[in-house]
Amino acid sequence: MGKWKKSVIPLNRLSDAKLNLARAEAWRRVVPLRDKSEAYAAGSSQREANAREYDLLTRELAAIEATIHELLSDRRPRMGALGKFLGLTRVPPGALSQIEVLKNRRSELEARQKNLHGGPPDPARAFATAMERLLRFDREIDRRKRKSEALESLRAAAAFAAADTRKVASSIKRKLERQPLCPYCGYKLNELLHAEHIYPVAKGGRSTRANMVNVCESCNARKGKMTLTAFIKKYELNREAIEARLTALGKEF
Ligand SMILES: [Zn+2]
């Protein structure tokens, strides 16, 4: 049982190859159970014989119980006339020894019945349980595969969108303002302009004139995929001055 759990629980940490192995291993464990349960079904006469014996024992035990009750209720007066006067009664010694024999027989039968009742586990039931687990395991694997496929297509769509954004970027780039200062560091811009996405493409930023601005080479390299806030924070830049320069250029951030 413990071993089984081990192979079922860490599904999300398994690669596809390992998942397939785990699935094969799970099936390998269930197959002998199925064989056993089929053999068991074929030889069901033993089970029927057990059920019949259980039934007979139940009836005999009931008869013993009734006899003991009967013997106990057959009370006789004791201690002669005085006993009779006082209302003293007793179960005759013969009956007591008979009851003793019956009680021994009762515990013997009860033990036999218990043995029949709690006999070996039913392989058919074990198989059904294992099968149910296996199917759950399979469903979990399928669910996981569907999830990873969905994730892949999402990633592909995102990559496509990003590529599209970059393509558009080159056409926007030519239309961008050639302002004299770098809006980020405030130094003079030289001939080498770098069109920068204020909100990064990597995070879903779009190639629009409002989101793109010409910056110096150093700022472009340092900002990379960072957001404006992260960039300002990391290099301890003057947020107010940057925002004023961007606003003057009609940028959104
Ligand atoms: Zn700069």
Using the mean position of ligand 1's atoms as its centre, give its distance from the Cα of residue 45 in Å: 90
Q: Which of 2-16, 85-99, 223-237 has the lowest mean pLDDT?
A: 2-16
Using the mean position of ligand 1's atoms as its centre, give its distance from the Cα of residue 171 in Å: 22
**Buried residues in 57-92 as b, exposed as e (16+ CB within 10 A):** beeeeeebeeebeebeeeeeeeeeeeeeeeeeeebe
Q: What is the pTM of this model?
A: 0.41
Using the mean position of ligand 1's atoms as its centre, give its distance from the Cα of residue 221 in Å: 9
Domain 176-248: state its class.
mainly alpha
pLDDT in tens, 169-181: 888 888 888 899 9
pLDDT in tens, 124-157: 777 788 888 888 888 888 888 788 788 878 888 8
Using the mean position of ligand 1's atoms as its centre, give its distance from the Cα of residue 161 in Å: 28
Using the mean position of ligand 1's atoms as its centre, give its distance from the Cα of residue 224 in Å: 12
